[in-house]
Chains A and B, each alone.
Chain A
Amino acid sequence: MAFNLYYYAAPATFYGLAGRLIPWFAWGAAVLAVIGLYIGFFVAPTDFQQGEAYRVIFIHVPAAWMGMFIYLVMAFWSAIGLAFKTRLSFMMARALAPTGALFTFISLWTGALWGKPMWGAWWVWDARLTSTLILLFLYIGIMALWAAIDDRNRGDKAGALLTLIGAVNVPIIYFSVQWWNTLHQGASIKPSGTSMDEIMLTGMLIMAFAAWFYAIAAALTRVRTLILERERHTDWVKRILEP
């Protein structure tokens, strides 16, 4: 295991590995999304409380999970990068941020469109929504910081530090529905079980896997570009660049 890890942690080998993995994750995401949407729209029944409006859940919850999860993965790579100065770690963090921001935006957007018919408001300043908005601003702030610092190593470190500080926000988002009074409904899935109808849950989980696969494919695509850029003086990249 350790051998493999070091082997693939080298940008040159990881570039090739990522290139082989991307089509699998991309097609996996597409197939899962088709199955998930089919279940979501044609198999899952109408909700007895929310009618058809609840069908937003099949993107809202997976997107919200991915927004938080990608941030945690970014924080993980930032910590590894700061601790061990591994080149690939910082590139992974940079590659993940835009996709994390995208999913957070989707969760806010779909939340607004779900909130309007259910709560009568597009937006309320409660803990869950506000902390999720802060998550989006964190993503944007970290990306702006990277863009603003010309020195790559300093940018990596500054971004990693901000990512780690911002990580406290993720548990706040997750537990906000328990800690504070809110319009937002509680977690649909808890360690003690779920309150959801089984087929609705199945559709939502399949969509969550689709989002997960998509995020992996997107981040790997982005990290390959970063690797080329940063390793451009090495022989193996020069060989790729040969016409």
Chain B
Amino acid sequence: MVDLNGTLLAQIVNFLILVAILAKFAYKPLMQGLADRQQKIADSIDTAERERREAEQLKLEYKQQLVEARSKAQAIVETAEKLAEENKEEILRAARAESAHILQKAQEEVARERELALAQLRGEVVALSMAAATKIVKEKMDTELNASLVSDFIEKLDDQKIGGLPC
């Protein structure tokens, strides 16, 4: 069972051949693969770290920009409000002035119309008086006639005023 012979040497040689084959065909690619993977993992971690830092930086920037934007917006709103206030005052003042102007103009117009109407009325009255006078002068001016004229007038007046009711 335990007898040593040439197998011992053969086994050593066999094993060394196996070592040589594996070292050449399996060990090298394996170590290369392991090294590649390690490199890749290290790269990934580095990249992730770098990206994280960049993201943090960006976040900080954005935050700052947001604060700036907010303050700027605040300023713009304030300016706009002030401007609007000023505008309002301006517009009100202008409107007030305009209304006063219009009122004055209207009053003047009314006054002028009144003057004109009065002048026209006066002219008409004069013309009417003149017509009446002419008519009277045209008729023979005697008492009889005068009397009939007057009564005629009164009758007409009665007709007109009382509506032709019999007395």
Instruction: Judge: A and B partners, yes or no.
Output: no
Residues of A within 8 A of B (CB): none
Residues of B within 8 A of A (CB): none
